[in-house]
A and B are shown apart, each in its own frame.
Chain A
Amino acid sequence: QVQLVESGGGLVKPGESLRLSCAASGFTFSDHYMSWLRQAPGKGLEWVSYISTSSSYTNYADSVKGRFTISRDNANNSLFLQMSRLRAEDTAVYFCARDRAVLGSNRAFDVWGRGTMVTVSS
């Protein structure tokens, strides 16, 4: 079945780095834009970053620009988020999500993983 599974979350100190992974299965991964979104404890959803099908285009929220890097490996159906210079305000559940459109984007996320928790605390 169509599935996304995130991994790599954990507890880190401010200023440290972490790399999140998202394994996709059950669909043609290379046909879809992919995004990372996050949700701080008790708060709403926040879009973080997206990457196009062939990695030609990426975009980031200002809150993470210059600190986070999104990438993908279409051969291995995987999405990544390299996070550096982490701050307390980055503490959240991080979700990877599939854009519903094929070979494009309609900014609608129709498949989500269960999320991985990132806690930034000294």
Chain B
Amino acid sequence: QSALTQPASVSGSPGQSITISCTGTSSDIGGYKYVSWYQQHPGKAPKLMIYEVNNRPSGVSNRFSGSKSGNTASLTISGLQAEDEADYYCSSYTSSRSLDVEFGGGTKLTVL
């Protein structure tokens, strides 16, 4: 069981917006700014989409945005496109003694 909780799946039609939530605790998401989001297509390596809650690396579309409120982080994808269909993972630094970085279980995004 993952330490960060994500919905197993979300879906949307092309052009729509969707939001994926990621819920943790005050020991991870709520306590630090080190929240990241990754996109992973089948058989491929993950790709960093958002870092430090709401920053986009160079080359990532501005259709992707991140936010945080309390112990919950969110990834919003606007103007959905077919190529956005993938698995999305959130991650956070954690002050837990058993880990340094923890991940959510992943969310499968289906573009209808």
In the assembled complex, which residues on chain B have CB atoms less than 8 Å from the CB atom of A109?
A: 36, 38, 46, 48
Whether the Cβ atoms of B45 and A115 lie closer than 8 Å is yes
Nearest A residue to B2, CB-CB: A44
Whether the Cβ atoms of A47 and B34 lie closer than 8 Å is no
Complex: how many Å from CA A107 to CA B48? 11
Whether the Cβ atoms of B98 and A62 lie closer than 8 Å is yes
Which of B17-25, B78-86, B100-108 has 4 or more CB atoms under 8 Å from chain A? B100-108
Whether the Cβ atoms of B52 and A106 lie closer than 8 Å is yes
Nearest A residue to B96, CB-CB: A62
Q: How many residues of B contact A (CB 8 A)?
A: 26
Known contacts: A100-B48, A107-B91, A112-B45. The answer to whether A45 contacts B100 by CB under 8 A is: no
Complex: how many Å from CA A108 to CA B57? 10
Complex: how many Å from CA A113 to CA B46? 9
Residue B48 contacts which of A50, A61, A108 (CB distance < 8 angstroms)?
Answer: A108
Residue A19 interfacial (CB < 8 Å)? no
Shortest C-beta distance, A80 to chain B (Å), equals 18
Residue A44 contacts which of B51, B92, B106 (CB distance < 8 angstroms)?
Answer: B106
In the assembled complex, which residues on chain B have CB atoms less than 8 Å from the CB atom of A47?
A: 91, 99-103
Shortest C-beta distance, B33 to chain A (Å), equals 8
Q: How many residues of A contact B (CB 8 A)?
A: 20
Whether the Cβ atoms of A107 and B36 lie closer than 8 Å is yes
The B-contacting residues of A in range 71-114, CB under 8 angstroms, are 95, 100, 106-110, 112-114
Known contacts: A44-B2, A61-B98, A113-B45. The answer to whether A106 contacts B105 by CB under 8 A is: no
Whether the Cβ atoms of B104 and A44 lie closer than 8 Å is yes
Residue A46 interfacial (CB < 8 Å)? yes
Chain B residues with CB under 8 Å of chain A are 2, 34, 36, 38, 40, 45-48, 51-52, 57, 89, 91-93, 97-106
- 27 pairs, CB–CB < 8 Å, chain A vs chain B: A35-B101, A45-B91, A45-B106, A47-B100, A59-B100, A61-B100, A95-B46, A100-B48, A100-B51, A100-B57, A107-B34, A107-B36, A107-B91, A108-B34, A108-B48, A108-B51, A109-B36, A109-B38, A109-B46, A109-B48, A110-B51, A110-B57, A112-B45, A112-B46, A112-B47, A113-B45, A114-B45
